[in-house]
């Protein structure tokens, strides 16, 4: 009987300890992600200064997970949504509109680690002269320690010319 009681006691202690293991897990966070101020929209013009198009960074959503193999890293998945209006001629309307955007990764001390510029073609609906496109981007950020992931930042925006950026600054504070 004592042997049975000892086995039950050991088994009960094991169950209690295994229940505690789940409660001590680290709370890990994803890198903060946001739009660069004044880089959420762009007006496109021709050589004469006439508006030919408009683009807007409408939304971004995503999450992160941590690498299970190899060196420590956080893997970030982002769905980026863009809206485009064509205000130009009919020929360009048939071709659609390519817009450029960037994804920048900043270190905990705000140094630029990586800046990549991407191009996304947006199909324009002829009837409404606009279109919307969503693109998925995946980024891998190497880490010394998983707990540091939340100290990194990801900055998104449209790749603007100096003139477009200045126009956005004069227009005022961004909508978000």
H or E segment at 138? strand 130-142
Q: What are 61's strand-pairing partners?
A: 79
The pTM for the full model equals: 0.77
> Residues with Cβ < 8 Å from 153, sequence gap 6 or more?
31, 32, 33, 34, 105, 106, 110
- The per-residue pLDDT for range 130-151, each reduced to its tens digit, is 999 999 999 999 998 899 999 9
Q: What is the mean pLDDT of residues 87-102?
A: 71
The more confident residue out of 61 and 86 is: 61
Cα separation values, 5 from 8, 11, 14, 98, 176, Å: 5, 10, 14, 74, 64
For the 28-171 domain, the top CATH level (class) is mainly beta
Domain ranges of the chain: 28-171
Pick from 101, 99, 95: nearest CA to 129: 95
The mean of the pLDDT values for the chain is: 82
């Amino acid at each position: 009987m004592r042997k049975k009681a000892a086995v039950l006691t050991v088994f009960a202690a094991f169950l209690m300890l295994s229940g505690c293991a789940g409660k001590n897990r680290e709370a890990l966070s994803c890198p903060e992600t946001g739009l660069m101020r004044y880089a959420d929209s762009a007006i496109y013009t021709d050589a004469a200064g006439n508006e030919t198009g408009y683009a807007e960074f409408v939304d971004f959503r995503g999450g992160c997970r941590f690498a299970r193999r190899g060196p420590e890293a956080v893997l970030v998945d982002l769905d980026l949504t863009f809206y485009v209006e064509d205000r130009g001629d009919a020929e360009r309307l048939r071709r659609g509109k390519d817009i450029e955007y960037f994804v920048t990764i900043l270190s905990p001390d705000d140094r630029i680690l990586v800046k990549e510029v991407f191009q996304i073609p947006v199909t324009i609906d002829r009837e409404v002269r606009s279109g919307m496109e969503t693109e998925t981007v995946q980024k891998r950020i190497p880490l010394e320690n998983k707990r540091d992931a939340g100290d990194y930042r990801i900055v998104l925006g449209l790749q603007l010319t100096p003139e477009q950026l200045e126009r956005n600054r004069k227009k005022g504070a961004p909508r978000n």
